Every structure is written in structure tokens, then in C-alpha cells.
């Protein structure tokens, strides 16, 4: 039999122990998260065939073990960009399954982009009626019109599904940039008045929310109110990355705002904009997360900074400014990059170390003890300009396992041959689960 008990449970929010002896299996934990991890570890010791949709009845044998385990960081996340390409609820749930199996704790759901607005907002129906649909992008997509969005029922379904598996869903509503789909829906929120089409080109786009227009804030507060109601987790990601300031420089309303608020420049205006939104979220009991560009105008107090630009030493900078940090250096954790040569293959991603930053390999430096105390953990990211639904798992597997390993396990004892063997052994399990994994190393395409 299997005994679940809090007696003799190891200390720590997510700590657990598993004992397999002739007399039976004992799972010890002091928290629901600990029991989930103990159960997952037991499942990982069963034969891969149990992952199939129709496993045989057994009996299964498990090796005799005594395991006591706890994670290095609490924030072990994965971002899925559903803005560039819409991903079905079924696909999203499969992603959550994989995250749960590798003991991730956060699903970062990137829901709004220049190329699509993906979340139903009752007060502003144009956001999805117009903003969820676009023409083909990049010229090589599977449909002439692309799009889709999540209804409130879809979102509640995904949130509950993830919660049952120990994963908090962190929604991202991008502002003040990456919002062309919203501007196509409500052009009066822009500096120029439009008109706009939902964007079909990738990249960074000039049109952003007008910071001088009070209606911008009324609409965004309405959006965030509905978002805060839908997602029980205490965090909302506000984006704030890649915001060109050209429109603000030329806009009379934005100039007036800068004067009235006695702001130094457009970077300060961005901080003012985000602070307003972060304070609104605070009144709803939520903390804002922003990408590291928010440091350029000074990040509002209490905001969590997600550091992605490795060369900016963003983790250290954010920690010095008193912010908690999530580390997502693009050069290790952006799984949207393919495997080319050595860079971004499985072995490279396994080199990701959350306490090191810089552009690899020559500029790497430790973040220091103060920043280490501020480090909540890290996230892998899948941006989907080049990926549609069938491509998601071959793109992220098996490399996601290396990110999971680096966020869970202590740095001491980290060894590539050991990890490599364990990661390759997962292939049978992924196959049994019907998940297509990609290669671990670069393979030259066949010559014609």
C-alpha cells in the first residue's frame, strides 16, 4: 500500500520524502505541494509505459529508495507566447501536464501581443472581436487568417487544471507596448488615433498606448479588474519590454503629461504609466511583474523584475534597486531559439545557472550575495513567431528538462554526463505520453 503522512516530513514549503521498502511506500510532506512532488517522484520511478493513455494493469515494480528532496528556488516557470500564435486549451493543458511532471510551479501565460489579443474582456468586446484575428504573418503560416481567444470559461478551466497540479497561472497583459491588437480594437487609446490593423509583421512596433490620454488608464484598469477576478494567483505580469518612445515624443497629450507630472523624459513616463497600473493591481491584492526594461526609468517599488537581457546585468541591477527577480536570460532559457551547432543544444541549456549573468561565455559574472537573496528563481520562455501548435513540444523538449533541473537542484554536484543520461532516459516516457521531443544536439540537414 501507499501511506501518505505528515509525520517525519522534511521542513520546507515544497519538501518531501519518499520511502520504498518491502512493507510498502511512504510519502511524507508537510504541504499539499510536497505531497504532489512525492507522488510525481514515485510516478517517475514507474515504467515509462504507465504514461500511455491506456496503460496495462500492472503489477508495477519500483526500486527500493529513501529520497528526501526540496527545490532550490520556488519560482520555476515557463512562458508560453499565445499572442504570436494562438494555442488551443487542449495544447495549453498538455503543457501544464509536462510542467507538473517536471515540478514547475508557474505557468506564465503571455496573452496579449501586437499580433493578437487572446483573453475575453466583457467590458471591451472589441479586444477579441477585432484584436484576436489577423492576416498571415511571415508568409509561411498554415491558415490565411490566424487567431483565436480564450473565453472566461476557458481561462477558469486552465487555472483550475493547473492549480490541481501545483502550478499557479501568471497572466501577462503587455503595456505600454506590444499592444497593436488592442489599438486596432480601440484606436482612441493610441497617440495618433490610428486606424490600425492587428499586426502581421514580427518585431517591435512604434504604436503604443497613449500615456497622456486618461481613457487609456480607464480601459486598462477595466481590463486588469477582470484579469484580477479570473486569476487567483497574486501576480500579474505587465510586460513593459521593448517600448519605442517615438510616438510619446511627438504626442501633445504625452508632452503635457510629462510636464504636469514633472517627469524627466519618456523613460520616466513609462515608469509613471506602469506605476499607475501596479498601484491599481496592489489595490486588487496583486503584485506586478515587469521585464527588465522597466529599470531604465526606475522600477516602481514592489515590482518584481524579470531579467531577460543577459548583457544588461539586469539581475544585479534589479536587486540593487530593491526588487525581487526572476531570471530568464535569453541566451540560455529562450527555447524559441533552435539548436544551431553548440549554442542552445541540451548541454548548453544545462549550463544555465541562475546566479550567473552576462552574455556567454566571455562576459559571465556572479550576481553576488545580495542579488542571490532577491532571486525567486527563473523561467524558460517559448516565443512563438516561428512555432505553431504541432511545433511546441519538439521545440521545448528535451531542453525544458535542463531548465527544470537548474531551478530545482543545487549547483554543487551538477554534472552534465549524469544529467544527460537521465534526460535521455526520459525520451521513452515522453514517447509513451504521446509527446514529440526534439533532438538534444544539432544534426546537419541531409544533403540533396
Q: Are strands 24-29 and 2-5 parallel, antiparallel or unpaired?
A: parallel
Q: What mask, x for binding ligand ACM by CB under 6 A, covers residues 284 to 303?
A: -------x------------
What is the footprint of ligand ACM within residues 193-252 (CB under 6 A)?
241-242
Q: Which does 352 bind (CB under 5 to 8 A by kind): ligand ACM, Zn ion, none?
A: none
CB of 204 to ligand ACM, least distance (A): 8
Single residue of 12, 212, 360, 386 touching Zn ion by CB under 5 A? 212
Q: Which does 241 bind (CB under 5 to 8 A by kind): Zn ion, ligand ACM, none?
A: ligand ACM
Q: Does residue 424 carry a catalytic annotation?
A: no
Q: Which does 242 bind (CB under 5 to 8 A by kind): Zn ion, ligand ACM, none?
A: ligand ACM
Q: Which does 251 bind (CB under 5 to 8 A by kind): Zn ion, ligand ACM, none?
A: Zn ion
Query: How many residues belong to the site for ligand ACM (CB under 6 A)?
Result: 4
Residue 335: φ, ψ to 5°? -75, -5
Q: Which does 291 bind (CB under 5 to 8 A by kind): Zn ion, ligand ACM, none?
A: ligand ACM
Which of 221, 225, 226, 242 is flagged as catalytic?
Answer: 242
CB of 255 to Zn ion, least distance (A): 8
Closer residue to Zn ion (CB): 217 or 343: 217
Single residue of 119, 159, 179, 251 touching Zn ion by CB under 5 A? 251
Closer residue to ligand ACM (CB): 336 or 406: 336
Tell me how far apart the terminal alpha carbons of the chain are, to the nearest angstrom. Answer: 58
> Quick check: 210 binds Zn ion (CB under 5 A)?
yes
Single residue of 101, 117, 196, 308 touching ligand ACM by CB under 6 A? 308
CB of 284 to Zn ion, least distance (A): 26
Closer residue to Zn ion (CB): 209 or 334: 209
Residue ranges in contact with ligand ACM by CB under 6 A: 241-242, 291, 308
Residue ranges in contact with Zn ion by CB under 5 A: 191, 210, 212, 251, 253-254
Residues tagged active-site: 242
Amino acid at each position: 500500500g501507499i501511506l501518505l503522512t505528515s509525520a517525519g516530513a522534511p521542513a520546507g514549503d515544497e519538501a518531501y520524502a519518499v520511502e520504498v521498502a518491502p512493507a510498502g511506500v511512504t510519502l511524507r510532506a508537510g504541504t499539499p505541494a510536497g505531497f504532489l512532488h512525492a507522488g510525481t517522484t514515485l510516478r517517475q520511478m514507474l515504467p515509462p509505459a504507465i504514461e500511455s493513455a491506456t496503460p496495462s494493469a500492472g503489477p508495477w515494480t519500483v526500486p527500493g529508495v529513501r529520497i528526501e528532496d526540496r527545490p532550490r528556488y520556488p519560482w520555476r516557470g515557463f512562458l508560453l507566447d499565445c499572442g504570436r500564435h494562438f494555442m488551443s486549451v487542449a495544447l495549453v493543458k498538455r503543457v501544464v501536464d509536462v510542467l507538473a511532471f517536471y515540478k514547475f510551479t508557474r505557468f506564465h501565460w503571455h496573452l496579449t501581443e501586437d499580433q493578437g489579443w487572446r483573453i475575453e474582456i466583457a467590458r471591451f468586446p472589441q479586444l477579441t472581436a477585432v484584436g484576436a484575428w489577423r492576416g498571415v504573418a511571415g508568409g509561411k503560416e498554415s491558415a490565411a487568417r490566424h487567431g483565436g481567444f480564450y473565453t472566461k470559461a476557458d481561462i477558469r478551466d486552465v487555472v483550475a487544471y493547473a492549480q490541481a497540479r501545483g502550478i499557479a497561472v501568471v497572466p501577462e497583459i503587455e503595456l505600454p507596448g506590444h499592444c497593436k491588437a488592442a489599438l486596432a480594437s480601440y484606436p482612441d487609446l493610441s497617440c495618433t488615433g490610428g486606424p490600425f490593423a492587428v499586426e502581421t509583421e514580427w518585431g517591435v512596433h512604434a504604436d503604443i498606448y497613449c500615456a497622456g490620454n486618461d481613457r487609456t488608464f480607464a480601459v486598462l484598469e477595466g481590463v486588469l479588474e477582470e484579469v484580477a477576478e479570473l486569476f487567483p494567483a497574486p501576480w500579474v505580469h505587465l510586460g513593459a519590454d521593448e517600448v519605442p518612445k517615438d510616438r510619446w515624443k511627438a504626442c501633445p497629450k504625452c508632452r503635457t503629461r510629462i510636464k504636469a507630472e514633472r517627469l524627466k523624459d519618456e523613460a520616466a513616463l513609462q515608469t509613471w504609466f506602469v506605476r499607475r497600473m501596479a498601484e491599481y493591481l496592489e489595490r486588487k491584492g496583486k503584485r506586478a511583474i515587469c521585464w527588465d526594461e522597466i529599470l531604465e526609468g526606475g522600477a516602481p517599488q514592489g515590482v518584481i523584475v524579470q531579467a531577460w537581457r543577459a548583457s544588461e546585468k539586469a539581475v544585479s541591477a534589479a536587486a540593487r534597486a530593491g526588487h525581487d527577480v526572476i531570471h530568464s536570460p535569453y541566451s540560455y532559457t529562450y527555447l524559441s531559439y533552435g539548436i544551431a551547432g553548440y549554442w542552445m543544444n541540451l548541454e548548453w541549456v544545462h549550463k544555465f545557472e541562475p546566479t550567473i549573468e552576462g552574455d556567454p561565455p566571455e562576459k559571465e559574472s556572479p550576481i553576488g550575495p545580495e542579488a542571490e537573496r532577491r532571486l525567486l528563481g527563473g523561467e524558460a520562455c517559448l516565443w512563438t513567431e516561428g512555432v505553431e501548435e504541432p511545433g511546441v513540444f519538439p521545440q521545448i523538449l528535451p531542453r525544458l528538462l535542463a531548465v527544470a533541473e537548474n531551478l530545482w537542484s543545487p549547483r554543487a554536484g551538477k554534472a552534465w554526463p549524469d544529467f544527460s543520461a537521465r534526460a535521455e532516459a526520459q525520451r521513452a516516457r515522453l514517447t509513451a505520453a504521446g509527446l514529440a521531443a526534439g533532438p538534444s544536439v544539432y544534426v546537419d540537414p541531409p544533403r540533396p
